[in-house]
Chain A
Amino acid sequence: MSNQAVAMPRKTRGPWAVAFAKLARDRAAMASLTVFLLIVLACLSAPLYAKWAGVDPFASTLDAVIQIDGADVPVMEQSTEGLGLGYTPLGPTWRLGNYFLGADSQGRDVMARMLYGGLSSLLISGAATIFTLIIGTAAGLIAGYFGGITDTVLSRLLDVLWAFPIYLLAISLSIVTIAQGIRIGPIDIESGSLWLPVIIIGIVYVPYVARPIRGQVLSLRHSEFVLAAINLGVPGWRILWRDILPNITTTLIVFVPLMMALNMLTESALSFLSIGVQPPAASWGTIIQDGQALLYTRPLVALVPGLAIAVSVMALNVFGDGLRDALDPRSKVRLGRD
């Protein structure tokens, strides 16, 4: 048959393209990614919103008065109950740009604080994820590749950190750095800096990344192609960079959304315990803490940031699940937990 001789151009797709196509078909994952990106976008527009609404989310404005339907309404209403002492902050107006979600106990616009708070929550969890991945990968690579005494020391250290309850470690690290910051050689971090929670959360989760990476590197270290490279006299750093790192990239990518979800929860918890983001800066966790005192009178102040965390974390988890199924279905990287 003559037409059979015509060569059919066959599309061969690389593993990345296959994984990407699989991910694009996963509707739950794509929807989650969209939700998460919308949240990021909204938080990035925080300064724009504050400017447009004409509010300062960081200064207390106890005697501010706003106009609703032409009438003057004080942001902090004098309480009429009990002895008549104290104030009840303004409830939600449901008008964009005008105390949409009401005011907090300092008379600040909760909506503006939500956006700024989200920005710090996202920045901290994102930066902590990068920090953890870099340190964890480095530790895993070094321990797994060089073995011997280096491996023993690093692995034991990781074992100890692993057994150390996360919150206790974070609390210990926070409490000693919170008042004076960190000063090690050239590194000088102020006590109110957002870098403090980044570093603390970053350190706490290092074993979560380093241990599985070490295991992978260990098995790659004894694979044929690495042994061949060693016998050919290729220098160790070059093997690590050219042969081993590319083989653990998928694991690292799978870690990103799941770590980020975990970090968001941890950041919010530390901020809630007042050892994360320091006032007057806001994060979703600190807003929940502010709202705790107003829980029964103005519940939205505490409810909305919690909802924002739940939605973001859930979106990250669903997307992370989809990403793992697409990239590395057999991996045992698990969903975030306390």
Chain B
Amino acid sequence: MIYAILRRFGQMLFVMFGISVIVFLIFFATPGADPAARIAGRNATPEVLDAVRHNFGFDRPLYVQYVKMMEKIFVTGDLTSFVNRGWKVVPAVMDSIPVTLSLVFGAAILWVVVSIIIGIVAAATRDSWLDKLLMALGLLGISMPVYWLGEVMNLITQSRYHDSWAFSWVPPLGYKNFSDDPKGWFLTLIIPWITLAILYIGIYGRVLRAAIIESLQEDFIRTARAKGLSETRILLRHALRTSLIAFVTLFGLDFGALVGGSALLTEVVFGLHGIGKLTYDALQNLDLPMIMATVMYASMFVVIANAVVDFVYILLDPRLRTS
């Protein structure tokens, strides 16, 4: 087991290194234009360009450039934006992390709970109209662009029906710090949580239903019946429990990906200034240093999240513990 963990840790470091190299190559070595011009942004003066060239070591070999970039992002943290002159990029990223985490954690709780319920109900009533309805709704959730769903939500709760009793509690778009205003924090996030969760409820509900139905065919379910257990217990303690392994794997990948950028669209639509919104604003200004930093930090987070999930996975599936 120790060996498995060390191995996974080594793998994690390798992937982190790989991603940093890819990011570096994309930003600094894509043929087509002068990287200094990209970083300095539009309308940069020749002096600024020279400064950038020197600062990032563009007159030196590639590996020196790589080291310099890593140093700026992770060690000294003194990468600055050229669009918003002198704005330190790394602290801005750090400030936005709690926003993204608030959004993703809340949505994750919602989608895990709801999709487990849907998966169980659909599997227990399989091939009934209820099962078909739930699965069709799930498919609809998967098929809608999340940012569009967010706009529809805004249209309903901020404009068209905002004055009705149902949505008058919805605060204006934006984020409130949990420490300043816990109630406001909660209220502003409810609609974004639901929006983000709908897509994943669709995916997870369908996946879990399929996994439960598959494990209900297993021999050990027949053993459980022969033991005289109730159908509910068989469904929850045996079929569901063994299906959760697939569920957790998926969760790890998606949770990481969300924190690392997939929540971006939701943040943009709801005006939540998380990492995604930061990236989006930088995109609108072609602010490369900012994008480099958000991409780098977010991907590192994804890799760490995936590794954490693998450990949870080992805990869930005893078969992996000994091998």
**In the complex, is A directly touching B at CB under 8 Å?**
yes
**Shortest Cβ distance from B196 into chain A, in angstroms?**
10
Q: Which of B136-177 contact A (CB under 8 A)?
A: 139-140, 142-149, 151-152, 154-155, 158-160
A156 within 8 A of B: yes
The docked-state distance in angstroms from the alpha carbon of A168 to that of B280 is 11
Q: Which of A38-46, A159-167, A225-233 contacts B (4 or more CB under 8 A)?
A: A159-167
In the complex, chain B residues 184-240 whose Cβ is within 8 Å of any chain A Cβ: 199, 203, 206-207
**Which residue on B lies nearest to A157, using beta carbons?**
B18
Chain A residues with a Cβ closer than 8 Å to the other chain, count: 56
CB-CB under 8 A for A310 and B144, given A179-B286, A338-B199 = yes
Q: Which residues of B contact A165 (CB under 8 A)?
A: 256-257, 260-262, 298-299, 302
Q: Say yes or no: is B32 at the interface (Cβ < 8 Å to chain A).
A: yes
Nearest to B204 among chain A residues (CB) is A337
B264 within 8 A of A: yes
Task: Mark B241-267 against chain A: 1 for CB-CB distance below 8 A, else 0.
Answer: 000000000000010111011101100
Smallest CB-CB separation from B275: which chain A residue? A168
- A163 & B303 in contact (Cβ 8 Å cutoff): yes
A171 touches B261 (CB 8 A): yes
User: Does B115 sit within 8 A of A, measured CB to CB?
Assistant: no
Cα(A334)–Cα(B207), bound, Å: 9
Residues of chain B contacted by A116 (CB below 8 angstroms): none
A-B contact pairs, 14 of them (CB 8 A): A157-B18, A163-B302, A164-B299, A165-B261, A175-B283, A176-B288, A180-B33, A295-B159, A306-B148, A309-B144, A309-B148, A310-B140, A314-B142, A318-B139
Known interface pairs A165-B298, A272-B147, A310-B144; 9 further A-B residue pairs with C-beta atoms within 8 A, sorted by A's residue number: A160-B14, A164-B19, A166-B262, A272-B145, A285-B145, A303-B152, A310-B143, A314-B143, A338-B254
- Smallest CB-CB A-B distances: 9 pairs: A306-B148, A160-B18, A314-B143, A165-B260, A313-B143, A180-B33, A168-B261, A296-B159, A167-B261
> Which residues of B does A touch, CB under 8 Å?
14-15, 18-19, 22-23, 26-27, 30-33, 38, 139-140, 142-149, 151-152, 154-155, 158-160, 199, 203, 206-207, 254, 256-258, 260-262, 264-265, 268, 279-280, 283-284, 286, 288, 291, 294-295, 298-299, 302-303, 306
